[in-house]
Chains A and B, each alone.
Chain A
Amino acid sequence: MRDVAVVGIGCTEFGEHWGASFRDLFVTAGVMALQDAGVAGDELDALYVGNMSAGRFVEQEHIGALIADYAGLASNHIPSTRVEAACASGGLAFRQAVIAVASGMEDIVVAAGVEKMTDVGTGASVDMLASAADREWEGFAGATFPGLYAMIANDYMHRYPLTREQLAQVAVKNHENGARNPIAQFKNRITIDTVLNSSLVADPLRLFDCSPITDGAAAVVVVPLERAREYTDSPVRVLASAQASDTIALHDRRDISTLDATVVAGKRAFDQAGLEHKDIDLLEVHDCFTIAEICAIEDLGFCKKGEAGRLTWEGVTAIGGDLPVNTSGGLKACGHPVGATGIKQVCEIVTQLRGEAGSRQVDAEIGMAHNVGGTGATVVVHILGV
Protein backbone atom coordinates (compact mmCIF):
# COMPACT_ATOMS: atom_id res chain seq x y z
CA MET A 1 0.00 0.00 0.00
CA ARG A 2 1.19 3.53 -0.79
CA ASP A 3 1.15 6.45 1.63
CA VAL A 4 -1.49 9.04 0.81
CA ALA A 5 -1.61 12.81 1.29
CA VAL A 6 -4.20 15.57 1.09
CA VAL A 7 -2.98 18.38 -1.17
CA GLY A 8 -6.06 20.52 -1.61
CA ILE A 9 -9.22 21.44 0.29
CA GLY A 10 -12.37 23.42 -0.47
CA CYS A 11 -15.54 24.11 1.46
CA THR A 12 -18.57 26.28 0.79
CA GLU A 13 -20.01 28.37 3.57
CA PHE A 14 -22.48 26.16 5.45
CA GLY A 15 -25.99 27.48 5.92
CA GLU A 16 -29.30 28.02 4.19
CA HIS A 17 -28.41 28.41 0.53
CA TRP A 18 -31.85 29.04 -0.91
CA GLY A 19 -30.26 30.67 -3.93
CA ALA A 20 -27.91 27.80 -4.76
CA SER A 21 -28.78 24.35 -6.05
CA PHE A 22 -27.32 20.98 -5.12
CA ARG A 23 -25.03 21.04 -8.14
CA ASP A 24 -24.00 24.68 -7.58
CA LEU A 25 -22.82 23.83 -4.08
CA PHE A 26 -20.75 20.89 -5.19
CA VAL A 27 -19.10 22.77 -8.06
CA THR A 28 -18.12 25.62 -5.74
CA ALA A 29 -16.38 23.32 -3.24
CA GLY A 30 -14.79 21.17 -5.95
CA VAL A 31 -13.32 24.14 -7.82
CA MET A 32 -11.90 25.53 -4.53
CA ALA A 33 -10.19 22.21 -3.77
CA LEU A 34 -8.70 21.88 -7.26
CA GLN A 35 -7.46 25.48 -7.16
CA ASP A 36 -5.97 24.92 -3.74
CA ALA A 37 -4.09 21.88 -5.05
CA GLY A 38 -3.19 23.49 -8.37
CA VAL A 39 -4.69 20.49 -10.14
CA ALA A 40 -6.39 20.72 -13.52
CA GLY A 41 -9.72 18.93 -13.87
CA ASP A 42 -8.44 16.66 -16.61
CA GLU A 43 -5.67 15.36 -14.34
CA LEU A 44 -8.26 13.70 -12.08
CA ASP A 45 -8.42 9.92 -12.10
CA ALA A 46 -11.56 9.45 -10.00
CA LEU A 47 -14.25 11.10 -7.91
CA TYR A 48 -15.94 9.84 -4.75
CA VAL A 49 -19.00 11.73 -3.58
CA GLY A 50 -20.49 11.38 -0.11
CA ASN A 51 -24.21 12.08 -0.12
CA MET A 52 -26.94 10.76 2.14
CA SER A 53 -30.25 11.43 0.52
CA ALA A 54 -30.35 13.56 -2.60
CA GLY A 55 -33.14 11.27 -3.79
CA ARG A 56 -35.40 12.59 -1.05
CA PHE A 57 -34.00 16.06 -0.37
CA VAL A 58 -33.82 17.19 -4.01
CA GLU A 59 -35.37 14.20 -5.80
CA GLN A 60 -32.21 13.45 -7.71
CA GLU A 61 -30.37 10.13 -7.78
CA HIS A 62 -27.39 9.12 -9.91
CA ILE A 63 -25.26 11.65 -8.07
CA GLY A 64 -21.87 10.31 -9.17
CA ALA A 65 -22.47 11.05 -12.82
CA LEU A 66 -24.30 14.32 -12.13
CA ILE A 67 -21.37 15.65 -10.20
CA ALA A 68 -18.74 14.58 -12.71
CA ASP A 69 -20.86 16.20 -15.42
CA TYR A 70 -21.33 19.55 -13.66
CA ALA A 71 -17.69 19.54 -12.59
CA GLY A 72 -17.05 19.81 -16.33
CA LEU A 73 -15.67 16.29 -16.58
CA ALA A 74 -18.32 14.49 -18.64
CA SER A 75 -16.04 14.26 -21.67
CA ASN A 76 -13.20 12.90 -19.50
CA HIS A 77 -15.36 9.89 -18.62
CA ILE A 78 -13.68 9.45 -15.24
CA PRO A 79 -15.09 6.97 -12.75
CA SER A 80 -17.35 8.84 -10.31
CA THR A 81 -18.94 6.99 -7.42
CA ARG A 82 -21.52 8.01 -4.86
CA VAL A 83 -20.88 6.74 -1.34
CA GLU A 84 -23.71 6.56 1.19
CA ALA A 85 -23.59 5.87 4.93
CA ALA A 86 -26.09 8.44 6.26
CA CYS A 87 -24.23 11.18 8.15
CA ALA A 88 -20.94 9.29 7.69
CA SER A 89 -21.20 9.49 3.87
CA GLY A 90 -18.50 12.17 3.63
CA GLY A 91 -16.01 10.40 5.87
CA LEU A 92 -16.61 7.22 3.95
CA ALA A 93 -16.12 8.95 0.56
CA PHE A 94 -12.77 10.19 1.87
CA ARG A 95 -11.89 6.66 2.96
CA GLN A 96 -12.75 5.28 -0.49
CA ALA A 97 -10.52 7.90 -2.11
CA VAL A 98 -7.68 7.05 0.26
CA ILE A 99 -8.08 3.34 -0.47
CA ALA A 100 -8.11 3.98 -4.23
CA VAL A 101 -4.86 5.96 -4.09
CA ALA A 102 -3.19 3.71 -1.50
CA SER A 103 -3.91 0.65 -3.63
CA GLY A 104 -2.17 2.15 -6.64
CA MET A 105 -5.34 1.92 -8.70
CA GLU A 106 -5.73 5.72 -8.95
CA ASP A 107 -3.35 8.66 -8.55
CA ILE A 108 -5.24 11.93 -8.28
CA VAL A 109 -8.64 11.61 -6.67
CA VAL A 110 -11.23 14.05 -5.35
CA ALA A 111 -13.32 13.08 -2.34
CA ALA A 112 -16.32 15.30 -1.84
CA GLY A 113 -19.45 15.54 0.25
CA VAL A 114 -22.62 17.45 -0.46
CA GLU A 115 -26.14 17.82 0.90
CA LYS A 116 -28.93 20.27 0.07
CA MET A 117 -31.42 19.98 2.92
CA THR A 118 -33.44 23.19 2.91
CA ASP A 119 -35.45 22.46 -0.23
CA VAL A 120 -37.94 20.52 1.93
CA GLY A 121 -39.87 21.53 5.06
CA THR A 122 -38.82 20.69 8.62
CA GLY A 123 -41.33 17.85 9.12
CA ALA A 124 -40.15 16.22 5.89
CA SER A 125 -36.47 16.59 6.76
CA VAL A 126 -37.10 15.09 10.22
CA ASP A 127 -38.64 12.10 8.43
CA MET A 128 -35.72 11.78 5.97
CA LEU A 129 -33.11 11.93 8.70
CA ALA A 130 -34.98 9.24 10.64
CA SER A 131 -34.14 6.91 7.75
CA ALA A 132 -30.52 6.89 8.99
CA ALA A 133 -31.88 4.58 11.70
CA ASP A 134 -34.14 1.53 11.30
CA ARG A 135 -37.16 2.77 9.37
CA GLU A 136 -39.32 -0.33 9.88
CA TRP A 137 -38.77 -0.74 13.61
CA GLU A 138 -37.66 2.65 14.96
CA GLY A 139 -39.14 5.16 12.52
CA PHE A 140 -42.40 3.24 12.47
CA ALA A 141 -42.83 3.75 16.20
CA GLY A 142 -42.31 7.50 15.87
CA ALA A 143 -38.58 7.67 16.54
CA THR A 144 -36.95 10.85 15.28
CA PHE A 145 -33.21 11.31 15.07
CA PRO A 146 -33.08 13.75 18.02
CA GLY A 147 -35.36 11.30 19.86
CA LEU A 148 -32.90 8.44 19.48
CA TYR A 149 -30.00 10.56 20.74
CA ALA A 150 -32.25 11.79 23.55
CA MET A 151 -32.70 8.17 24.62
CA ILE A 152 -28.90 7.81 24.61
CA ALA A 153 -28.71 10.96 26.77
CA ASN A 154 -31.29 9.70 29.27
CA ASP A 155 -29.58 6.33 29.53
CA TYR A 156 -26.21 8.05 29.95
CA MET A 157 -27.42 10.49 32.61
CA HIS A 158 -29.09 7.65 34.50
CA ARG A 159 -25.75 5.83 34.75
CA TYR A 160 -23.03 8.50 34.78
CA PRO A 161 -22.60 11.82 36.57
CA LEU A 162 -23.32 14.23 33.71
CA THR A 163 -25.20 17.43 34.54
CA ARG A 164 -27.54 19.27 32.19
CA GLU A 165 -25.19 22.28 32.43
CA GLN A 166 -22.15 20.21 31.39
CA LEU A 167 -24.11 18.95 28.40
CA ALA A 168 -25.04 22.52 27.46
CA GLN A 169 -21.37 23.51 27.69
CA VAL A 170 -20.66 21.36 24.62
CA ALA A 171 -22.90 23.67 22.56
CA VAL A 172 -21.52 26.82 24.20
CA LYS A 173 -17.94 25.77 23.37
CA ASN A 174 -18.78 24.81 19.80
CA HIS A 175 -20.57 28.11 19.15
CA GLU A 176 -17.51 29.91 20.55
CA ASN A 177 -15.38 28.04 17.99
CA GLY A 178 -17.90 28.51 15.19
CA ALA A 179 -17.85 32.27 15.81
CA ARG A 180 -14.21 32.15 14.66
CA ASN A 181 -14.89 30.07 11.54
CA PRO A 182 -15.85 31.95 8.37
CA ILE A 183 -17.72 28.96 6.90
CA ALA A 184 -19.87 28.27 10.00
CA GLN A 185 -23.65 28.49 9.76
CA PHE A 186 -23.86 30.01 13.26
CA LYS A 187 -21.29 32.63 14.18
CA ASN A 188 -23.09 33.77 17.33
CA ARG A 189 -21.78 33.05 20.82
CA ILE A 190 -24.27 31.54 23.25
CA THR A 191 -24.48 30.92 27.01
CA ILE A 192 -25.60 28.00 29.14
CA ASP A 193 -28.89 29.85 29.62
CA THR A 194 -29.39 30.08 25.85
CA VAL A 195 -29.27 26.29 25.69
CA LEU A 196 -31.35 25.63 28.82
CA ASN A 197 -34.04 28.14 27.81
CA SER A 198 -34.39 26.84 24.26
CA SER A 199 -37.41 24.71 23.43
CA LEU A 200 -37.44 21.00 24.20
CA VAL A 201 -37.10 18.86 21.07
CA ALA A 202 -36.89 15.43 22.70
CA ASP A 203 -36.32 15.38 26.47
CA PRO A 204 -33.68 16.09 27.73
CA LEU A 205 -32.37 17.53 24.45
CA ARG A 206 -33.30 21.10 23.58
CA LEU A 207 -33.04 23.00 20.31
CA PHE A 208 -29.50 24.18 21.12
CA ASP A 209 -28.37 20.60 21.80
CA CYS A 210 -29.11 19.77 18.16
CA SER A 211 -27.19 20.39 14.95
CA PRO A 212 -29.23 22.32 12.41
CA ILE A 213 -30.62 21.63 8.92
CA THR A 214 -27.94 22.87 6.54
CA ASP A 215 -26.85 23.15 2.91
CA GLY A 216 -23.20 22.80 2.03
CA ALA A 217 -20.42 20.99 0.22
CA ALA A 218 -16.77 20.22 0.84
CA ALA A 219 -14.05 18.59 -1.26
CA VAL A 220 -10.46 17.44 -0.87
CA VAL A 221 -7.79 16.28 -3.32
CA VAL A 222 -5.76 13.19 -2.39
CA VAL A 223 -2.61 11.95 -4.14
CA PRO A 224 0.22 9.51 -3.39
CA LEU A 225 2.51 11.02 -0.72
CA GLU A 226 5.53 10.61 -3.00
CA ARG A 227 3.92 13.03 -5.49
CA ALA A 228 2.43 15.47 -2.97
CA ARG A 229 5.22 18.05 -3.28
CA GLU A 230 4.32 18.50 -6.96
CA TYR A 231 1.12 20.16 -5.75
CA THR A 232 1.77 21.81 -2.42
CA ASP A 233 4.48 22.84 0.01
CA SER A 234 2.32 21.71 2.91
CA PRO A 235 0.97 18.21 2.26
CA VAL A 236 -0.97 16.54 5.05
CA ARG A 237 -0.43 12.82 5.43
CA VAL A 238 -3.20 10.31 6.00
CA LEU A 239 -1.83 8.26 8.92
CA ALA A 240 -4.88 6.03 9.39
CA SER A 241 -8.25 5.30 7.85
CA ALA A 242 -10.59 3.05 9.83
CA GLN A 243 -14.23 2.08 9.61
CA ALA A 244 -16.58 -0.03 11.71
CA SER A 245 -20.26 -0.94 11.74
CA ASP A 246 -22.81 -1.93 14.37
CA THR A 247 -26.54 -2.70 14.61
CA ILE A 248 -28.70 -0.28 12.64
CA ALA A 249 -31.22 0.06 15.50
CA LEU A 250 -30.24 1.67 18.79
CA HIS A 251 -32.36 -0.84 20.74
CA ASP A 252 -30.11 -3.72 19.56
CA ARG A 253 -26.85 -2.20 20.83
CA ARG A 254 -24.80 -3.99 23.47
CA ASP A 255 -24.80 -0.75 25.49
CA ILE A 256 -27.18 2.11 24.65
CA SER A 257 -24.73 4.90 25.52
CA THR A 258 -21.50 3.42 24.18
CA LEU A 259 -21.02 3.52 20.42
CA ASP A 260 -19.10 0.28 19.94
CA ALA A 261 -18.40 1.17 16.30
CA THR A 262 -16.56 4.28 17.55
CA VAL A 263 -14.62 2.19 20.07
CA VAL A 264 -13.55 -0.27 17.38
CA ALA A 265 -12.84 2.24 14.58
CA GLY A 266 -10.85 4.37 17.03
CA LYS A 267 -8.71 1.41 18.11
CA ARG A 268 -8.13 0.37 14.51
CA ALA A 269 -7.03 3.90 13.62
CA PHE A 270 -4.57 4.12 16.53
CA ASP A 271 -3.16 0.69 15.64
CA GLN A 272 -2.74 1.59 11.96
CA ALA A 273 -0.99 4.86 12.75
CA GLY A 274 1.07 3.37 15.58
CA LEU A 275 0.05 6.32 17.76
CA GLU A 276 -1.30 6.86 21.25
CA HIS A 277 -3.96 9.23 22.57
CA LYS A 278 -1.38 11.73 23.84
CA ASP A 279 -0.12 12.12 20.24
CA ILE A 280 -3.44 13.60 19.04
CA ASP A 281 -3.35 17.41 19.11
CA LEU A 282 -6.89 18.10 17.95
CA LEU A 283 -10.08 16.21 17.42
CA GLU A 284 -13.07 16.79 15.15
CA VAL A 285 -15.90 14.58 16.44
CA HIS A 286 -19.43 13.96 15.27
CA ASP A 287 -21.49 16.22 17.58
CA CYS A 288 -24.83 15.90 15.80
CA PHE A 289 -26.20 16.34 19.34
CA THR A 290 -24.35 17.52 22.45
CA ILE A 291 -24.52 14.05 24.01
CA ALA A 292 -22.83 12.64 20.88
CA GLU A 293 -19.68 14.70 21.53
CA ILE A 294 -19.57 13.45 25.14
CA CYS A 295 -19.86 9.83 23.99
CA ALA A 296 -17.33 10.31 21.17
CA ILE A 297 -14.56 11.64 23.42
CA GLU A 298 -15.04 8.70 25.78
CA ASP A 299 -15.60 5.99 23.18
CA LEU A 300 -12.45 7.05 21.31
CA GLY A 301 -10.64 6.48 24.60
CA PHE A 302 -9.54 10.02 25.47
CA CYS A 303 -11.02 9.63 28.96
CA LYS A 304 -13.01 7.12 31.01
CA LYS A 305 -16.75 6.69 30.53
CA GLY A 306 -18.54 9.36 32.53
CA GLU A 307 -15.72 11.93 32.52
CA ALA A 308 -16.16 13.90 29.29
CA GLY A 309 -18.81 16.21 30.76
CA ARG A 310 -16.47 17.35 33.51
CA LEU A 311 -13.57 17.77 31.04
CA THR A 312 -15.78 19.90 28.81
CA TRP A 313 -16.89 22.00 31.78
CA GLU A 314 -13.27 22.53 32.83
CA GLY A 315 -12.28 23.77 29.37
CA VAL A 316 -10.00 20.85 28.48
CA THR A 317 -11.72 20.49 25.08
CA ALA A 318 -11.85 24.21 24.29
CA ILE A 319 -9.41 26.01 22.00
CA GLY A 320 -6.47 26.57 24.33
CA GLY A 321 -7.25 23.42 26.34
CA ASP A 322 -5.16 20.24 26.34
CA LEU A 323 -7.40 18.51 23.79
CA PRO A 324 -9.24 20.95 21.52
CA VAL A 325 -12.40 19.28 20.21
CA ASN A 326 -14.35 20.63 17.24
CA THR A 327 -12.29 23.74 16.59
CA SER A 328 -14.40 24.19 13.45
CA GLY A 329 -17.50 24.69 15.58
CA GLY A 330 -18.50 21.10 15.00
CA LEU A 331 -21.80 20.07 13.50
CA LYS A 332 -23.52 22.22 16.13
CA ALA A 333 -22.21 25.61 14.99
CA CYS A 334 -20.82 24.83 11.51
CA GLY A 335 -24.06 23.19 10.51
CA HIS A 336 -24.58 19.61 9.41
CA PRO A 337 -25.19 19.11 5.69
CA VAL A 338 -25.12 15.38 6.36
CA GLY A 339 -23.16 14.11 3.35
CA ALA A 340 -20.65 16.97 3.54
CA THR A 341 -19.81 16.83 7.25
CA GLY A 342 -17.13 14.12 7.10
CA ILE A 343 -15.21 15.99 4.39
CA LYS A 344 -15.54 19.29 6.26
CA GLN A 345 -13.95 17.61 9.28
CA VAL A 346 -10.95 16.63 7.13
CA CYS A 347 -10.79 20.18 5.74
CA GLU A 348 -10.68 21.57 9.30
CA ILE A 349 -7.87 19.23 10.38
CA VAL A 350 -5.86 20.09 7.24
CA THR A 351 -6.44 23.81 7.81
CA GLN A 352 -5.22 23.50 11.40
CA LEU A 353 -2.19 21.36 10.51
CA ARG A 354 -1.20 23.88 7.82
CA GLY A 355 -1.45 26.67 10.41
CA GLU A 356 -4.13 28.49 8.41
CA ALA A 357 -6.94 28.52 10.98
CA GLY A 358 -6.67 32.19 11.98
CA SER A 359 -8.21 33.08 15.34
CA ARG A 360 -9.16 29.47 16.05
CA GLN A 361 -5.63 28.15 15.36
CA VAL A 362 -4.30 25.54 17.78
CA ASP A 363 -0.77 24.16 18.02
CA ALA A 364 -1.09 20.88 16.14
CA GLU A 365 0.84 18.31 14.15
CA ILE A 366 -1.61 15.41 14.34
CA GLY A 367 -5.40 15.51 14.20
CA MET A 368 -8.23 12.98 14.28
CA ALA A 369 -11.59 13.12 12.49
CA HIS A 370 -14.55 11.02 13.70
CA ASN A 371 -17.67 10.73 11.54
CA VAL A 372 -20.81 8.82 12.60
CA GLY A 373 -23.65 7.48 10.46
CA GLY A 374 -27.05 7.14 12.13
CA THR A 375 -26.90 6.50 15.86
CA GLY A 376 -23.59 4.68 15.44
CA ALA A 377 -24.23 1.96 12.86
CA THR A 378 -21.32 3.28 10.78
CA VAL A 379 -18.27 5.06 12.14
CA VAL A 380 -15.27 6.31 10.18
CA VAL A 381 -12.12 7.57 11.89
CA HIS A 382 -9.13 9.20 10.19
CA ILE A 383 -5.82 10.37 11.59
CA LEU A 384 -3.91 13.03 9.66
CA GLY A 385 -0.48 14.47 10.35
CA VAL A 386 2.30 16.68 9.06
Chain B
Amino acid sequence: MKKMMTLLLIAGLALTAFKPATEGYKVGDTAADFKLKNVDGKTISLANYTSAKGYIVVFTCNHCPYAQAYEKRIMELDKMYAGKGYPVIAISPNDPVALPEDSYPNMQKRAAERKYTFPYLLDETQDISHTYGVKATPHVFVLQKTASGNVVQYIGAIDDDTENANPNHTNYVQNAVNALLAGNKPAITSTKAIGCSIKWKKGA
Protein backbone atom coordinates (compact mmCIF):
# COMPACT_ATOMS: atom_id res chain seq x y z
CA MET B 1 0.00 0.00 0.00
CA LYS B 2 2.82 2.32 0.95
CA LYS B 3 4.49 1.49 -2.34
CA MET B 4 1.27 2.25 -4.17
CA MET B 5 1.01 5.64 -2.46
CA THR B 6 4.60 6.47 -3.34
CA LEU B 7 3.93 5.57 -6.97
CA LEU B 8 0.83 7.74 -7.01
CA LEU B 9 2.76 10.57 -5.46
CA ILE B 10 5.50 10.27 -8.07
CA ALA B 11 2.91 10.16 -10.84
CA GLY B 12 1.26 13.27 -9.37
CA LEU B 13 4.57 15.11 -9.17
CA ALA B 14 5.42 14.11 -12.73
CA LEU B 15 2.08 15.48 -13.90
CA THR B 16 2.56 18.83 -12.20
CA ALA B 17 6.17 19.08 -13.34
CA PHE B 18 5.52 18.31 -16.99
CA LYS B 19 2.59 20.19 -18.42
CA PRO B 20 1.00 19.22 -21.74
CA ALA B 21 3.32 19.92 -24.64
CA THR B 22 0.88 22.08 -26.58
CA GLU B 23 0.55 24.70 -23.84
CA GLY B 24 4.20 25.36 -23.16
CA TYR B 25 5.65 26.79 -19.98
CA LYS B 26 4.47 29.82 -18.11
CA VAL B 27 6.50 31.76 -15.59
CA GLY B 28 6.49 29.85 -12.30
CA ASP B 29 6.33 26.40 -13.95
CA THR B 30 9.00 23.80 -13.32
CA ALA B 31 10.91 23.07 -16.50
CA ALA B 32 11.77 19.55 -17.60
CA ASP B 33 15.40 18.53 -17.93
CA PHE B 34 16.48 17.00 -21.23
CA LYS B 35 19.10 14.83 -22.85
CA LEU B 36 20.06 16.41 -26.16
CA LYS B 37 23.00 15.92 -28.49
CA ASN B 38 25.56 18.73 -28.50
CA VAL B 39 27.57 19.78 -31.55
CA ASP B 40 30.56 17.90 -30.05
CA GLY B 41 28.60 14.62 -30.11
CA LYS B 42 28.16 14.49 -26.33
CA THR B 43 24.78 14.41 -24.63
CA ILE B 44 23.95 17.40 -22.41
CA SER B 45 21.46 17.68 -19.57
CA LEU B 46 20.81 20.58 -17.22
CA ALA B 47 21.71 18.17 -14.40
CA ASN B 48 25.29 18.07 -15.75
CA TYR B 49 25.78 21.60 -14.41
CA THR B 50 26.14 20.74 -10.74
CA SER B 51 27.34 24.20 -9.66
CA ALA B 52 24.84 26.21 -11.74
CA LYS B 53 22.36 28.48 -10.00
CA GLY B 54 20.19 28.48 -13.08
CA TYR B 55 20.25 28.52 -16.85
CA ILE B 56 19.71 30.81 -19.80
CA VAL B 57 18.03 28.40 -22.23
CA VAL B 58 17.99 30.00 -25.70
CA PHE B 59 16.06 28.41 -28.55
CA THR B 60 17.90 29.65 -31.60
CA CYS B 61 19.01 28.37 -34.99
CA ASN B 62 21.36 28.91 -37.91
CA HIS B 63 19.07 30.22 -40.63
CA CYS B 64 16.91 32.88 -38.93
CA PRO B 65 18.02 36.50 -39.49
CA TYR B 66 16.53 37.51 -36.13
CA ALA B 67 18.53 34.75 -34.42
CA GLN B 68 21.60 35.88 -36.35
CA ALA B 69 21.02 39.47 -35.26
CA TYR B 70 21.12 38.25 -31.65
CA GLU B 71 23.99 35.75 -32.00
CA LYS B 72 26.67 38.05 -30.58
CA ARG B 73 24.42 39.05 -27.70
CA ILE B 74 23.78 35.36 -26.92
CA MET B 75 27.55 34.77 -26.84
CA GLU B 76 27.98 37.80 -24.57
CA LEU B 77 25.30 36.51 -22.20
CA ASP B 78 27.28 33.30 -21.71
CA LYS B 79 30.52 35.22 -21.12
CA MET B 80 28.76 37.50 -18.67
CA TYR B 81 26.81 34.91 -16.69
CA ALA B 82 28.36 31.40 -17.02
CA GLY B 83 30.90 32.32 -14.34
CA LYS B 84 28.15 33.67 -12.12
CA GLY B 85 26.19 30.43 -12.31
CA TYR B 86 23.84 31.10 -15.23
CA PRO B 87 25.31 29.42 -18.33
CA VAL B 88 23.72 29.73 -21.76
CA ILE B 89 22.29 26.49 -23.18
CA ALA B 90 21.38 26.93 -26.85
CA ILE B 91 18.91 24.56 -28.50
CA SER B 92 17.94 24.43 -32.16
CA PRO B 93 14.28 23.43 -32.41
CA ASN B 94 13.95 23.25 -36.19
CA ASP B 95 13.35 20.24 -38.40
CA PRO B 96 16.46 20.01 -40.62
CA VAL B 97 14.42 18.32 -43.34
CA ALA B 98 12.39 21.54 -43.69
CA LEU B 99 15.49 23.71 -43.33
CA PRO B 100 18.79 22.10 -44.34
CA GLU B 101 20.66 25.18 -43.08
CA ASP B 102 19.67 24.09 -39.57
CA SER B 103 21.04 20.54 -39.97
CA TYR B 104 23.32 19.03 -37.33
CA PRO B 105 26.48 19.33 -39.51
CA ASN B 106 25.64 22.98 -40.20
CA MET B 107 25.07 23.58 -36.48
CA GLN B 108 28.51 22.05 -35.82
CA LYS B 109 30.01 24.31 -38.46
CA ARG B 110 28.45 27.51 -37.09
CA ALA B 111 29.33 26.71 -33.47
CA ALA B 112 32.96 26.11 -34.48
CA GLU B 113 33.24 29.15 -36.76
CA ARG B 114 31.73 31.53 -34.21
CA LYS B 115 33.53 29.82 -31.31
CA TYR B 116 30.46 29.24 -29.18
CA THR B 117 31.45 28.89 -25.53
CA PHE B 118 28.14 27.19 -24.75
CA PRO B 119 26.51 23.95 -25.92
CA TYR B 120 24.41 24.10 -29.08
CA LEU B 121 21.98 21.22 -28.88
CA LEU B 122 19.80 19.60 -31.49
CA ASP B 123 16.24 18.78 -30.41
CA GLU B 124 15.94 15.91 -32.87
CA THR B 125 12.44 14.78 -31.81
CA GLN B 126 11.31 18.38 -31.09
CA ASP B 127 9.78 17.03 -27.85
CA ILE B 128 11.63 19.53 -25.64
CA SER B 129 10.71 22.43 -27.92
CA HIS B 130 7.06 21.38 -27.73
CA THR B 131 7.27 20.95 -23.96
CA TYR B 132 8.82 24.38 -23.43
CA GLY B 133 6.38 25.92 -25.88
CA VAL B 134 8.94 27.71 -28.01
CA LYS B 135 7.17 29.96 -30.52
CA ALA B 136 9.91 31.52 -32.60
CA THR B 137 13.67 31.92 -32.74
CA PRO B 138 15.28 33.37 -30.75
CA HIS B 139 13.21 32.62 -27.63
CA VAL B 140 14.74 32.65 -24.14
CA PHE B 141 13.71 30.77 -20.98
CA VAL B 142 15.58 31.83 -17.83
CA LEU B 143 15.45 28.99 -15.29
CA GLN B 144 16.33 29.20 -11.61
CA LYS B 145 17.59 26.05 -9.95
CA THR B 146 15.67 25.42 -6.73
CA ALA B 147 15.27 22.47 -4.35
CA SER B 148 12.06 21.56 -6.16
CA GLY B 149 13.43 21.83 -9.70
CA ASN B 150 14.26 24.37 -12.38
CA VAL B 151 11.68 27.13 -12.09
CA VAL B 152 10.91 29.28 -15.14
CA GLN B 153 11.50 32.91 -14.13
CA TYR B 154 11.51 34.71 -17.48
CA ILE B 155 10.24 33.90 -20.98
CA GLY B 156 10.76 36.05 -24.04
CA ALA B 157 13.18 38.25 -25.91
CA ILE B 158 16.80 39.09 -25.09
CA ASP B 159 16.11 42.83 -25.27
CA ASP B 160 13.70 45.24 -26.96
CA ASP B 161 16.08 46.32 -29.69
CA THR B 162 16.74 43.58 -32.24
CA GLU B 163 18.59 45.94 -34.55
CA ASN B 164 20.81 47.06 -31.68
CA ALA B 165 20.23 50.65 -32.76
CA ASN B 166 18.85 52.21 -29.59
CA PRO B 167 21.41 52.85 -26.85
CA ASN B 168 18.61 53.16 -24.29
CA HIS B 169 17.18 49.71 -24.91
CA THR B 170 16.06 47.39 -22.13
CA ASN B 171 18.10 44.22 -21.60
CA TYR B 172 15.33 41.89 -20.44
CA VAL B 173 17.45 38.75 -19.94
CA GLN B 174 20.31 40.58 -18.21
CA ASN B 175 17.86 42.33 -15.90
CA ALA B 176 16.11 39.04 -15.10
CA VAL B 177 19.35 37.20 -14.32
CA ASN B 178 20.73 40.13 -12.32
CA ALA B 179 17.56 40.16 -10.24
CA LEU B 180 17.80 36.41 -9.60
CA LEU B 181 21.49 36.69 -8.66
CA ALA B 182 20.53 39.43 -6.19
CA GLY B 183 17.91 37.16 -4.66
CA ASN B 184 14.94 38.97 -6.20
CA LYS B 185 12.27 38.11 -8.75
CA PRO B 186 12.65 39.66 -12.22
CA ALA B 187 10.59 42.85 -12.63
CA ILE B 188 9.60 41.88 -16.17
CA THR B 189 8.86 38.18 -16.50
CA SER B 190 7.65 37.84 -20.08
CA THR B 191 8.04 39.71 -23.35
CA LYS B 192 7.33 39.19 -27.03
CA ALA B 193 9.40 39.77 -30.12
CA ILE B 194 9.20 39.22 -33.85
CA GLY B 195 10.96 36.03 -34.85
CA CYS B 196 11.14 33.12 -37.26
CA SER B 197 8.41 30.57 -36.75
CA ILE B 198 9.54 27.08 -35.69
CA LYS B 199 9.80 24.56 -38.51
CA TRP B 200 7.94 21.62 -36.99
CA LYS B 201 8.19 18.17 -38.50
CA LYS B 202 5.38 17.41 -40.93
CA GLY B 203 2.52 15.60 -39.21
CA ALA B 204 3.92 16.36 -35.75
Partners in one complex: no
